[in-house]
A and B are shown apart, each in its own frame.
Chain A
């Protein structure tokens, strides 16, 4: 069975500090996708990134960057120069292909990030 572990339940940092959210996954599939979603206080899950298992290049998008390491089954997320608007719960997710042709998402338990002004 697939599993996603986000060991950090809650993190608090002072504004402008960098912060890294950890994600470790387990899967027997050779082809899979990894995701990060942000859930602000409003409750809606906001898509941040989707990464193919064959693409281990790190990705940077503005203040966000992602480090995918297949050797350690990790897909960590770093926010540089954090801002108060980054305060949210962040979920890492792993797709699971099914016989129905869909990609069922298995989510981690989330990390609640609080940025202190």
Chain B
């Protein structure tokens, strides 16, 4: 079966613009995670969704970051008024349920100029 897919694979934007990153989890997986991988900070947890429960947003670095998951499947991570420090690879992962092994997508490489 298909793995986790993410789009776009690369995104270049100008400082101050908004961006949307998309994640399509493995079919049947109810848990979805977003992580960020940057040179300075390594791999960091951002947000977690499980079914229709309230998301765990404890890792979002600022209120410019938000995410939603529609219909319990596809998720969109939105970064408003992008800053240069937002440049990173944004990774999405899914698991059968929360607490099970997380499988990662190929990531979206974001560059803010």
Contact = CB atoms under 8 A, between A and B. Distances in A.
Our verdict on whether A and B bind, yes or no, reads yes
Interface in B26-66: 31, 33, 35, 42-43, 45, 48, 50, 53-56, 58-59
Contact of A102 (B35, B56, B107): B56
B50 to A, nearest CB: 6
Contact of B50 (A46, A100, A109): A100
A107 B46 CA distance: 13
Interface string A20-37: 000000000000000101
B72 to A, nearest CB: 15
Chain B's interface size range is: 20 to 34
Contact of A100 (B43, B53, B100, B101): B53
21 contacts: A42-B106, A43-B109, A45-B91, A46-B104, A50-B101, A91-B43, A98-B56, A99-B56, A100-B98, A101-B53, A101-B99, A102-B31, A102-B48, A102-B50, A102-B99, A103-B98, A103-B100, A104-B48, A104-B56, A105-B102, A110-B42
